[in-house]
Amino acid sequence: MLASVPAKDNTQWTHLYNEVVATGLCTGCTACIVACPFHVLGYEDYKPVQLQEDGPDKCAHGDKGCSLCTLACPRFREWEPEIDRLLFGEPRQPDEVMGHVDEIVLARATAPEVLMQGQDGGVVSALLIWGLENGEIDGVCTSKLSDERPWDCEPAVVTDREGVLAAAGSRYTYSPNPLAMLKAAEMGLSKLALVGMGCQASAPGSMAARRVNKWAKKVHWTFGLLCSKSFTYDGLMVEIAQKELGLDLDEIVRVNIKGKLLFYTKDGRELTYSLKKSHQYTRPGCLRCPDFTAEHADLSFGGLGQGEGWTLVIIRTPKGRDLWDRAVADGVVEWRPGSEDEGAIELMRKLAVKSLERWPSEHLSEGSRTPGLVPVAEGA
Ligand SMILES: Cc1cc2nc3c(=O)[nH]c(=O)nc-3n(C[C@H](O)[C@H](O)[C@H](O)COP(=O)(O)OP(=O)(O)OC[C@H]3O[C@@H](n4cnc5c(N)ncnc54)[C@H](O)[C@@H]3O)c2cc1C
């Protein structure tokens, strides 16, 4: 069984590097980079790298007892039961393949411009705007379209309705949104919403569970996006969009995944590409990720409902339940029961199981779950 990480321990960058980065478990979420107070780590090719000379795994601050990068990591050792215990009071049961679920609903924004800008039902954006405008949050760490490359994306801090709407929609390349927390801190913001896929949505939980308090305390809402993978930019936008489909990137208005890759153009065309064929362009950091449903978010959001224009929402934590009920009461979103789309829930369950199978068995710890398997027994 894997060792657990007490809040003060002797693990440090060398352990994180050798157990998570070098083994391919690192998703590139950047929680370690955010937590490092000494600017030891940079970000290259979607991974943390040691900037200072003794690298790749020898940190002088780590040798003196600093373990913040390791403690912040949402993939280090017993990350999953530790975060589950913090958020839900206990590790999950083996059959809880989608993590802890309070309720599943299908929802959409009531404001037409939010619904129009959103990827699915615009629910993420509607809640963010509502939170900013009523002062519950003072900033959002999310992603925006890149200024450098068309249809790439990058972390961004947004603080108002216009910013949220400009950032709405999904990009299928990787944006390490936790990195925006550094900018948010520079801006003096302290009541943040973090939006991100499961790899990123577990970061506030790992920080809180292991008392990386400086950063954990800044995140008030954690919004997770369902995700089975992201793609490399060269794979998605160069090889598939430009070379295989013959698209000019300027003519694309929306990209989506609904059982296949979908590209929509300004002149109303819909071009499709097989998800199976696209697998070769999966970003390497996604290949071992076991979390399809963003299991440590307050609320998780996905687009796999059968009807267009609705977001499937998983209400998970008491905080998520509270903010959801109040947003509904304020008329920000409308909803119907998830049971109206049993096919979507079954598909979500299947995709959750598929993702779980990616996690290497030698890295299972007690309290982790695998599809249909029991957790690794004591002494195993
Ligand atoms: C890479 C990726 C893969 C996904 N895969 C699936 C899937 O397989 N099945 C499924 O059901 N749903 C998937 N989703 C979620 C889905 O696309 C929608 O984000 C979700 O349904 C919420 O829709 P909405 O209209 O409520 O959100 P919106 O109101 O449109 O808000 C979306 C938010 O996501 C942020 N965002 C967009 N792109 C990224 C990115 N690359 N990285 C980080 N943040 C980003 C935006 O900035 C915005 O804040 C995926 C999302 C992403 C980004």
One domain for residues 81 and 182: no
User: Is there a domain that residue 376 lies in?
Assistant: no
Strands (E), the chain: 41-44, 47-50, 103-109, 139-145, 153-158, 192-197, 219-225, 252-257, 261-265, 270-273, 299-302, 311-315, 333-337
Question: Which segment of 19-23, 34-38, 70-74, 368-372 scores lowest on mean pLDDT?
Answer: 368-372
- Final residue before a domain boundary, out of 281, 315, 344: 281
Quote the domain boundaries for residue 35.
Answer: 13-89
Query: Within a domain: residue 373?
Result: no
Cα(194) to ligand 1 centroid in Å equals: 13
**In Å, how far are 7, 110, 111, 179 from 213, measured between CA atoms?**
11, 36, 36, 16
Q: Are residues 200 and 273 in the same domain?
A: no
C-alpha 118 to ligand 1 mean position (Å): 9
Same domain, 299 and 188: yes
List, for residues 184-223, the tens digit of each pLDDT value.
999 999 999 999 999 999 999 999 999 999 999 999 999 9
If DSSP codes are grouped into helix, strand and coil, which group holds residue 60?
A: helix
Res. 348: pLDDT tops 80: yes
Residue 250 has pLDDT above 50, yes or no: yes
For the chain, how many structural domains are there in total?
3
What is residue 377's predicted lDDT score, i.e. its pLDDT?
29
Q: Any residues with Cβ below 6 Å from ligand 1, and which?
A: 118-125, 142-143, 153, 167-172, 175, 177, 195-197, 225-228, 230, 257, 301-304, 311
- Cα angle for residues 81, 351, 92 (degrees, 5° grid): 20
Check residue 375 and give its pLDDT.
34
Inter-residue contact 48 to 228 (CB < 8 Å) = no
Q: How far is CA 377 from CA 2, 98, 364, 367, 374, in A?
A: 11, 21, 10, 10, 8
CA separation for the pair 244, 45 (Å, rounded)? 24
- 335 & 199 share domain: yes
pLDDT tier for residue 94 given thresholds of 50, 70 and 90: confident
Looking at the structure, do residues 108 and 190 belong to the same domain, yes or no?
A: yes
pLDDT band (50, 70, 90) for residue 370: very low
pTM: 0.95
Bridge partner residues of 106 (DSSP) = 312, 336
**Does 219 share its domain with 324?**
yes
Residue 167: which residues within 8 A CB-CB, separation 6 or more? 125, 140, 142, 143, 144, 156, 158
Which one of 67, 89, 111 terminates a domain? 89
Mutate to test the pocket of ligand 1, among 106, 127, 170 (most ligand atoms within 8 A of CB): 170
Ligand 1 pocket mutation, candidates 129, 154, 192, 225, criterion most atoms within 8 A of CB: 225
Residue of 380 and 88 predicted with greater confidence: 88
Asked whether residue 209 is assigned to any structural domain, the reply reads yes
CATH code of the domain in which 257 resides: 3.10.450
Q: What is the pLDDT of residue 371?
A: 41
257 and 137 co-located in one domain = no
Q: Are residue 115 and residue 182 in the same domain, yes or no?
A: yes
Please give the distance, rounded to the nearest whole angstrom, from the Cα atom of residue 303 to the centre of ligand 1. 8
Q: Rounded to whole angstroms, how far apart are CA atoms 366 and 59?
A: 30
Same domain? 257 vs 343: no
- CA-to-CA distance for 234 and 355, rounded, in angstroms? 24
Does some domain include residue 19?
Answer: yes
Residue 368's pLDDT band, with cuts at 50, 70 and 90, is low
Cα 37 to averaged position of ligand 1 atoms, centre (Å): 30
In this prediction, residues 149-175 reach a mean pLDDT of 97
Judge if 132 and 221 occupy the same domain.
Answer: yes
Clarify whether residues 79 and 185 are in a common domain: no
User: Do 166 and 47 sit in the same domain of this protein?
Assistant: no
Query: Which residues make beta-bridge pairs with 139?
Result: 192
**Is residue 339's pLDDT more than 50?**
yes
95 within domain boundaries: no
pLDDT score of 378: 26
